[in-house]
Structure 1
């Protein structure tokens, strides 16, 4: 596992973990040797803009460069004949902190389970309602947003969570802005529309002080031009043109589509780390690895009778764990899971995800990582090794074992079946609402 250094910030050293060398640091220092402060519980001190690290303000002071991000693994290439580590990515769409306080709750869950996560921040969640006309959504009236805007207290709370999450080692990606779905939504956007949306999502984060008027507030402790390397589109729509724009805007990955549990590849020079189809217990088809899709296939509503909630929770947990075991004992493809900070059906899906985190993250050779950490590892590997891994089908284990499989020349790897990433089964989604990620609430 990653080790307790993530929560406690331990003595600097390097641990070799299944082909991944993980740096750890002692209290008082960060991985790059900068001084750090910690809270009384060993967590990052949310009140400190850079956790006591030197900082260089950027622009209006909304963000600041504070050095390398703390609590990051140092990756290395896999050696011949070794078994790949099992990566699991837990990610959150919207990533706002409202009265449910689910952002802060899952930060705590991550710390307790040595996990990093990716939080996809919606740009409009740091844009006050009275400044909504600053937003020009493609194909929609100025100031429009299908997820609305947060109030002043919620914006402040969201910024606090974003600051703390980054200092703990998690990633801040983007869920873009207005969350427009359907025929006139993001699926209809051109590459240039997406470039405008990306630029605005970044700008709202980089200028939140100007927009909120909170000039004396602490900055976010990162340069968003460096930090922002990926996102997930609303409704899992519009990836074809989004990924073209993403590459030109400096993104390294995108997770806006649906794939199978196989090793990822690049599209348009960008890693396609889409959500995946996982088993749907008791059903004849598979389901997208996201809370919304389980809900849509179970009840089609977030307000099903309470008597059904326990069964929904159990079904999602068992489905995610079945997907995990299929990869863990099979091809070791990274497992990608997406969620929202929502209490749909009595919080059934939040409990299912939390149980999954607590079950899988402590296991041997398992690394619960952010998308940034995953692409860092992928980019460090030999391309031939990754090509061989992609020949393994869903749940397929090398017939002669990992030692021989990855010790052989790449050209001798047997070819997998025709089904590959980006080619989901026709019946996999079965979404009665007609979208993969619609119906998202204010903080989702």
Structure 2
């Protein structure tokens, strides 16, 4: 489903700067996180199963002097497009990759049932900035192919529901208080419960984190609601370079990296829409699709090398299932997925799997990793 309208304000672009110039101030709408530092007890997830341990030899406590795997985390906002899953799943099977789909709850509600959704913060019942899920037959088919996604070992997280960003229907998520976030998460749970009753095989405790619409939110208000609903991670905030996740207000934060795009010589938050906006202001120029795909793949490769040869922090690749600019960004993601997930010392994993791995480690080792400089692709 196209999210372009709702995503116009996700463009949290970094300032233009030359290599070696002092760091600029906070980014608009998505301030950079400080250096990773745990601020409380770490939330926990169930440990790996015996089957996992057998199939995932990297899932072990590091020996003295052993480097961590280079984790790569592919995650997709919205995450209900069959045509895109049909491209991702075969590549994932070939490479042993696991990815994370961040589900917008309203896509599991048929259009005729939209009045079941009551947005928070005084918004009208049955309103969503990304529409709803289509016909009853669309929902039934969607449950079928998402069940295959789950059966293949991929993770389903939340992208919440109505996608209310700044500039769209107000009040937007960046203005929501704790009550509003609790209400939105209650609605997400109820919608998924309804889909589960219709055959959706997503376990009740399987949704463990997500990404907020347009990377927006008042985290002091949002994170307590997320933790109260059993979430253990968020992947909405922005960090300069690739950093290890740390505990922020009771959740692991897996930040989106702000990186240098070599072809542009400037910094951009490494998400598909942000890259598109940096390239040409998010204008449709499908004839330039091969050029854009190559620029994005080259950026991914550059950041991957920086992390692999640096702090080995999990690399978050944020995307949407989209056909923007002649599918330039989906093509780049699919190419990089097939390329990187088969590399030595590299593990393409879900957020839950990375947390499981961290739970196996000596806390002092994790603390050491977090103290390493962020990986930055400036050379």
Q: Is the structural similarity TM-score above 0.5? A: yes
Q: Matches of residues 135-150 of structure 1 in structure 2 within 5 Å?
A: 135-139=117-121, 140-150=123-133
Is the partner of 1:362 in helix, strand or coil? coil
Indicate if the aligned counterparts of 1:22 and 1:73 stay in contact, CA closer than 8 A.
no
Q: Matches of residues 260-299 of structure 1 in structure 2 within 5 Å?
A: 260-299=241-280
Give the structure 2 partner of residue 125 of structure 1: 107
**Alignment partners' CA distance in 2, 1:74 and 1:22:** 12
Indicate if the aligned counterparts of 2:238 and 2:257 stay in contact, CA closer than 8 A.
yes
Q: How many residues align?
A: 323
Q: Which runs of 5+ in 1 are unaligned?
A: 1-20, 25-30, 33-69, 397-444
Indicate if the aligned counterparts of 1:126 and 1:150 stay in contact, CA closer than 8 A.
yes
TM-score by length of 1: 0.69
Q: Matches of residues 38-437 of structure 1 in structure 2 within 5 Å?
A: 75-97=59-81, 101-139=83-121, 140-152=123-135, 153-182=137-166, 184-208=171-195, 219-224=199-204, 226-238=205-217, 240=219, 241-259=221-239, 260-304=241-285, 306-395=286-375
Is the partner of 1:75 in helix, strand or coil? coil
Greater fraction helix? 2
TM-score by length of 2: 0.80
The offset of 1:279, in angstroms, is 2.3
**Alignment partners' CA distance in 2, 1:206 and 1:73:** 34
Indicate if the aligned counterparts of 2:243 and 2:255 stay in contact, CA closer than 8 A.
no
Is the partner of 2:261 in helix, strand or coil? coil
Question: RCO greater where, 1 or 2, for CA within 8 Å and sep 6 or more?
Answer: 2
**Alignment partners' CA distance in 1, 2:55 and 2:232:** 20
**Alignment partners' CA distance in 1, 2:235 and 2:222:** 10
Q: Which runs of 5+ in 2 are unaligned?
A: 1-46
**Alignment partners' CA distance in 1, 2:145 and 2:175:** 33
Is the partner of 2:73 in helix, strand or coil? strand
